[in-house]
Amino acid sequence: MRKQLLLLLVFLSGCILENRSPDRCYHLWDPSQKDNCLVLVAVETKNMSKCDEITVSSLSEKCYALLIGADLPVNSSTCAKLSGNLMDECFGRLAASSNDTSMCMRINSSYQRDSCLSGIAIAMERPEICDGISLNISRNTCKNQIYPNLAIQNRDTAFCKLIVTDNPESQQDAVDRCVFSVAEELNDTTLCNQIVNPFSKDLCKTGSIDPALCNQITESQGKQACLYVAAVYSKNPDACKNLPSASLRDSCYTQVAKDTNNPTLCTYIATELLRDQCMQIVKG
pLDDT at residue number 105: 95
pLDDT at residue number 218: 79
Residue range 143-195, pLDDT digits in tens: 999 999 999 999 999 999 999 887 776 888 889 999 999 999 999 999 999 99
**Based on the number of CB atoms within 10 Å of its own CB, is 186 exposed (0-12), middle (13-18) or buried (19 or more)?**
middle
Taking the C-alpha atoms of residue 11 and residue 36, their distance in angstroms, rounded to an integer, is 10
Residue range 113-125, pLDDT digits in tens: 999 999 999 999 9
User: Per-residue b/e over 254-265, b at no fewer than 16 CB within 10 Å?
Assistant: bbbbbeeeeeeb
pLDDT at residue number 176: 93
Contacts of 154 (CB under 8 A, 6+ apart): none
pLDDT at residue number 210: 67
**Based on the number of CB atoms within 10 Å of its own CB, is 38 exposed (0-12), middle (13-18) or buried (19 or more)?**
buried
* Whole-Å CA distances, 145 to 139, 171, 177, 262, 275: 10, 14, 12, 17, 13
Q: What are phi and psi of 53, to 5 degrees?
A: -85, -5
**Based on the number of CB atoms within 10 Å of its own CB, is 142 exposed (0-12), middle (13-18) or buried (19 or more)?**
buried
Residue percentage of the chain with pLDDT more than 70: 91
Longest Cα separation, the chain: 84
Q: What is the mean pLDDT of the chain?
A: 85
How far, rounded to the nearest angstrom, does the alpha carbon of residue 80 sit from its chain's CA centroid?
A: 23
pLDDT at residue number 15: 47
At residue 170, what is the residue type?
S
pLDDT at 259 exceeding the cut of 60 = yes
pLDDT at residue number 208: 61
pLDDT at 74 exceeding the cut of 90 = no
